[in-house]
Amino acid sequence: MTNRQKRKYFILLLTATIITVAAAGYFSASLKSEPEYLSKIDRLMFDKENQSPKFILTLPDKETPPDKTPKTEPVAERQQELPVTVEDFVERAPLVSKLPEIKNLTALKNIEIDEELTEQSEEFVLPAIGKNGRKPWIEYGQTATVAPNFSKVAVIVQKVGLDNGICEAVIKALPSEVSLSFSPYTPDIAERIKKARSFGHETYADLLLASPNVLKSDNGPLSMSLTLKPEENLFRLQRVLAVKAPIGGMVVNDGVADKDTTEQLKAFLSELKKRGLLMIDAVSGQEINKIQESGLARKKAEIVIDESSLTQQAIAEKLQMAERLARENGQVMIVAAPKPIIITALSDWFKTFSQQLTYEQMKEMNVTSFDKPFALVPASNLVVE
């Protein structure tokens, strides 16, 4: 092959190579401009020229449950159930500030402490049984009159005093038959107790047991401790009782109450009996209820509405249970936490109680039965000594 032929052959080969490389680059760029399809369904959504989608497919989200709202329900009605403005939200929110103050509540007999029902210890002025066996839980209490065939309902709001707004609301806006138990950490606790009594409320003090999880939460220096000696825990108990204001006893808040603390609990109950005070057991277990202490005025709360019941449904279920127990047993004791949603629910519930009528009034009004024959009474009316 001559040199001229070789040169011609080389030029043809080079031209073919350049054309091949250019074609490969073109098709590669065209493919890269196509979207990456996750499935055949994605590919169907586009035409051959990679233009706008030809189909829009909506597939259900596996993590989102299907909408079970009946199709016949108008959308406008569903929207009306939700607050759409700040005013709507405030109107529906359970605010204690919205509760109207009850007028003309009758003050209790003892607003100030009765000196004859006290004794001076080395450290404190403490409640004590007075002359002729007069006991603080009776003298500082209030007896209610209940119509025949009506069941007694006693309600104690515990942990009162830590929030000033809620404290004012429960004192002024709840019926005087509702009893109040004050936290030992309440600022100006003596004045708060006296004010509550001036509105007719029986007054008590919270007995704080040791926290079930002391590593995460501690009930403070006025609570009972699992690590202190018995005499040190008794000293704490006396500090809580020395409020220089009339209290008829203590409400035992939930906490550690088991076989290991039985001796400690016995000492507490013995101290309360010695001082003529009553004890309301609001602990979830039955350990305190099992302890025998003859002569102690006491009552186990059947219903406790606390921080675990902060929905309207949960509170409604508790109140329905209270109604059932009241009908079956003739009485029920409720201990409630001072949360706005609980306080407002109680206030509304009290308004559903049937009015107590005498026989003459029943005849005159032709009343033969009552829808809710429940009578609100102070806590002291349900204790048994």
Can you give the pLDDT at residue 82? 53
- Give the separation between CA 227 and CA 210, rounded to whole angstroms: 10
Average model confidence (pLDDT) for the chain? 84
Question: Per the structure block, which two tokens stand in for 226?
Answer: 């699992």
- Give Cα separations from 55 to 45, 52, 59 (angstroms): 5, 9, 13
Q: DSSP assignment of 274-297, as one string?
A: HTT-EEEE--SSSHHHH---TT-E
What is the tens place of the pLDDT at every residue in 107-164?
A: 999 999 999 999 999 899 999 999 999 999 999 999 999 998 899 999 999 999 999 9
Q: How large a percentage of the chain has pLDDT more than 70? A: 77
Residue type, 108: L
Outline where 199-332 has alpha helix (H): 230-241, 262-274, 287-290, 312-329
Mean pLDDT within 4-11: 68
Going along 118-183, which residue ranges are E strands?
118-120, 125-127, 151-160, 179-182
Can you give the pLDDT at residue 76? 47
Can you give the pLDDT at residue 141? 97
pTM for the model: 0.75
Can you give the pLDDT at residue 45? 47
